[in-house]
Structure 1
C-alpha cells in the first residue's frame, strides 16, 4: 500500500487524477486549483508543491527565466489539450484579430505560443495584437464573458460554455496542428519528493489502463467530480496511449518557438522531458 502524499496544482482536475483517486492503493493527493502558470512556477520554486499539471511548453519558458532552470516533464496525461480560439462578435476569423486585445495566461510561455504561431501562419503580425495576462482558463473565460478582452484560447468545458453565452469559435489549435500535445506533469529535477511523484505516476498509469478498459469507470469518476456527461466523453477520448510525452508533440512545441524567434528554439526532447526519471518511475511500462 502506497502511503505517500503528493502536493499538486492544476487548472482543471485531469481525468487520470480523478480515476486514480478512486483507487484504494493510490497515493494521497493534496490538490489545489491555480489561477495562472506564474502561480505554478512560483509554487514549484518555493517548494510549496511537488508537481503541477500544465502546458508542456511552460517547461521551455520557465527554464529561460531567472530561477532554478531544472524543470522537466515526467508524464503526458492526455493525448492532446483541445484549444479553441473564442472571440466576441463581430470577430469571425483569425484575420479579424488584427488590433484585438487577446487574453492570455502569460505572453511568452504556455498555450499562447500555439496561438501566436497560428496568428503568424494567418499573416497577423505579432505587433498587430495586444496580449493581456488574465490568468488561467477559468479566469480568462470570466474576463472574456465580462467584455474585458476580444478573444482568448479556451478548453473544455469553458469553450462550450462561452459559445452558449453567445461567443464564437473562430479557430482550433488541433485543426491547425494535429500533433499538438496534451498537458504534462511537471516537476523540478532531483526534488526531495521524487518518491511521491513516482507513486503518483504509478497511480496515473493504473488509471490510464482502467480508462482504456472501462469507459464506465472513467465516466463515473468524472460525474462524481461534478462534470457533465459531455465533458466525461471528451476527456475519455483524450486518454493517452502512453504516459511518455509524445516526441512529435514536443518537436512541434520547439518548432513553434523557433518560427517565432523565441527562447528555447535550440531545445530538444532531453532538455524538456526527463526520460530517465520516467523509466525509473514507470518501470518500463509506459
Structure 2
C-alpha cells in the first residue's frame, strides 16, 4: 500500500494508492526515492532499511495487525525444519523481513546460515508460484497461499506463530524527517483505521459481511478478523522479539531499541 502525498496539499483527507507488493526492496526504493511517503510492511524491515543508503531515519508509526500468519511450507515429504539441511529456501529478501524469524527458528534446530541457501524471488505470490514450479524446497507463506499450497499436496513444516506467539504483524513505516509534513494526513487516516478496528471488534459479523461483499475470499476474511490488533500502537514485546531475532542471527541493525524504532506522534489518542 502506498500513501500518496499530492492530495494532502489542499486537504487533510488521505488518498490511498493500493498496489500489489512485489518485494520489500521495491517498497524501500519507493520510500527512498520519495515516490511514496509511507508503506505497510514487515516491521523487521525497518532495522535493515536504516542500514542502507537512503533516509536512515525510518520509523514504525503504527501496527496494523496483531500478527502476520506465516506457515513454512515445503516439498512433499519434508515435515520437520531439520529436513531443510541443504535445501533452497525461497525468500523475499535474505536479510530482512519474515525470513529473519525463520533463520532464528532454523538456528534453534542446529541449522546455521551455511546449512541452506536463500533464493530471493519476491513477495508472497511470487514465492508461492516459485515453490509450486519447483524452483525451491520451501518458503514462508501467508493466507490464502499457505492453504492453497497444502491443498495442492505440499507439506506443512512449521508455523512462526506457534514457535513465537508474540511475533508481530505488519506496521506503517515513515521517515522521521517527513513526519511533520505528513502529520495531519497520517493522523486523519489512522483515526479512521482505529474507528474501523473498533467496529470490527464490536461487530465481527457485520465486518465479515462487509469484507465478503467487498470481494475478499472467506478464508482471508477469517484471518483478517483473527488478527485485528488490540490497538494501533506497535507492540513492545513483538518489536523486541524482532530485535532479538536479528541479534541472534547476527544481522546488522540489531543494535537498536523499541524507543528508537517507534514514533508515537501520529497515533490516535484512544
Q: Aligned residue for 2:217?
A: 228
Separation in 1 of the partners of 2:174 and 2:65? Answer: 17
More off after superposition, 193-202 vs 77-86: 193-202
Q: Aligned residue for 1:238?
A: 227
> How far has the Cα of 1:270 moved from its partner?
1.6
- What does 1:199-214 correspond to in 2, within 5 Å? 199-214=188-203
Q: Aligned residue for 2:114?
A: 127
- What does 1:111-260 correspond to in 2, within 5 Å? 111-191=98-178, 192-260=181-249
8 Å CA contact 2:24, 2:123 repeated in 1: yes
Separation in 1 of the partners of 2:34 and 2:24? Answer: 15
Separation in 2 of the partners of 1:222 and 1:47? Answer: 32
Using structure 2 for the length normalisation, give the TM-score.
0.92
> How far has the Cα of 1:230 moved from its partner?
2.3
Q: Count the aligned residue pairs.
A: 261
- What does 1:68-107 correspond to in 2, within 5 Å? 68-107=55-94
> How far has the Cα of 1:220 moved from its partner?
2.6
For residue 49 of structure 2, the aligned residue among 33, 58, 62 is 62
**Residue 6 in 1 paired to residue 6 in 2?**
no
Separation in 1 of the partners of 2:220 and 2:134? Answer: 26
Flag as ranges the 4+ runs of structure 1 deviating above 4 A: none
Q: Aligned residue for 2:8?
A: none
8 Å CA contact 1:26, 1:203 repeated in 2: no
Separation in 2 of the partners of 1:47 and 1:174? Answer: 34
- Judging changes above 3 Å, is the alpha-carbon distance between structure 1 residues 98 and 225 closer, same or farther for their aligned structure 2 residues? farther
8 Å CA contact 1:101, 1:151 repeated in 2: yes
- What value does the CA root-mean-square deviation take over the aligned residues? 1.7
> How far has the Cα of 1:267 moved from its partner?
0.7
8 Å CA contact 1:6, 1:29 repeated in 2: yes
Separation in 1 of the partners of 2:206 and 2:176? Answer: 33
SS in 1 for 2:167: coil
Q: Aligned residue for 1:271?
A: 260
Deviations 1:195-236 (A, max 9, x none): 222221111111111111111232133213422222212210
8 Å CA contact 2:3, 2:39 repeated in 1: no
Separation in 2 of the partners of 1:249 and 1:33? Answer: 25
8 Å CA contact 1:50, 1:197 repeated in 2: no
